[in-house]
Amino acid sequence: MLSNTVWATRLAHVKTDQAVVYADQNLSTPLGRISRGKKVVVGEVPRKYGTLLPVLIAGRVGWIQIKDIQFVEIADTDSENMLEHDIIALEKSDNLGINNHIGLVHNVLVFGNEWEELSYAIGDEVGLRPFYMTLYFDHRPPSLRYSFGVGLSYLYLEQEHLVLSAPMLELKGLWSAIKYKYFNFNLSLGAFFSGAFKVDSTYNPLDEDYDNTGEMYGINYGVEFKYFPYSTFSLINGLSFQRGIISGLAPIKISYEENDTVALTRFKATNYYFGVSYQF
């Protein structure tokens, strides 16, 4: 624990947009953050080659980087009268204006039985991989275990007799089971929606009454890894399982026979994805 002498002699204020307080000198476990201009009381002896100082906040000792603070000279009488409640407490509240990232993710999607059976029935090659990209915006507070984001995706696959296309809105929440400065292991849960899930068949009628566009909505869950998650650039990869319902899509004709159709009402897939993100 820091002594009263430290309280009296080392007052500083935060000079960056936010200063992260860590539980250890390796900066692997963030405890919270302190906003610009807030006052802190720090120890006198730097550690880690002059880059860190101990900091006392709400009765707890942490570590703060010297580059994030500016020392303030105070009179002895002010030092003697300084109480702990005069020092800003560790901020656990989340500021949505910072810690935001934009990323581009490439998805390797493996369809479930529903699409594979439709492809087989119409005579197409089974096992083809669609084009599937996501522009992703996410919020990652370093002091908290959760993060969340929203993505805009486009799914497209052209086969011999079938063409699938779907712009999608995706939402995702993440909880960090393992959280370090340079690595996060997250459990993910999300939802997706497409208001223009379209399947064209070479056998579909051309009349205006035929509706080859429907809606798709569902959930996804899985695991995600982030490398250098709080740096300017970070890497992402993960595995998710998608389960969706398709509505409003007319039965898909698989031949020129009048009633030779297949109804596509479910969407199942396994998705391996990887990408890069930029903090802005």
Reported as a single tens digit per residue, the pLDDT across 145-172 is 899 999 999 999 999 999 999 999 999 9
Q: In what order do the strands lie in the sheet with 39-42?
A: 30-35, 18-22, 60-65, 52-57, 39-42, 11-14, 69-72
CATH of domain 100-279: 2.40.160.20
pLDDT in tens, 228-261: 998 899 999 999 999 999 999 989 999 988 789 9
**186-206 residues labelled b (16+ CB within 10 A) or e (exposed):** bebebebbbeebbbebebbee
Between CA 262 and CA 239 the distance in angstroms is 30
Instruction: Give the whole-angstrom CA distance, residue 270 versus residue 77.
Output: 66
Least confident of 4-13, 147-156, 200-209: 4-13
Q: Given this model, what pLDDT does residue 8 score?
A: 41
CA atoms of 2 and 6, how far apart (whole Å): 6
CATH 2.40.160.20 domain extents, the chain: 100-279
Residue 82 has pLDDT above 60, yes or no: no
Cα separation, 147 vs 195, whole angstroms? 26
Quick one: pLDDT at residue 93? Answer: 53
CATH class given for the domain over 4-86:
mainly beta
pLDDT classification of 84: cutoffs 50, 70, 90: very low
pLDDT of residue 92: 52
**How much is the pLDDT for 23?**
82
140 vs 98: which has the higher pLDDT: 140
| CA dihedral angle for residue 254, residue 163, residue 224, residue 20, rounded to 10 degrees | -150
> What pLDDT digit, counting tens, does each position of 118-135 carry?
999 999 998 899 999 999
DSSP letter (8 states) at residue 5:
H
| pLDDT score, position 3 | 44
Q: By percentage, how much of the chain surpasses pLDDT 90?
A: 54
How much is the pLDDT for 73?
A: 67
Look at residue 90 and tell me whether its pLDDT is greater than 70: no
Q: In which residue ranges of the chain is CATH 2.30.30.40 found?
A: 4-86
Banded model confidence at residue 27, pLDDT cuts 50, 70, 90? confident
Q: Between the ranges 12-16, 55-59, 131-135, 143-147, where is the mean pLDDT highest?
A: 131-135
* Sign of the alpha-carbon dihedral angle for 255, 256, 257, 260: positive
Grade residue 208 by pLDDT with cuts at 50, 70 and 90. low
The mean per-residue pLDDT over the stretch 29-44 comes to 81
Report the chain's mean pLDDT, rounded to a whole number. Answer: 85
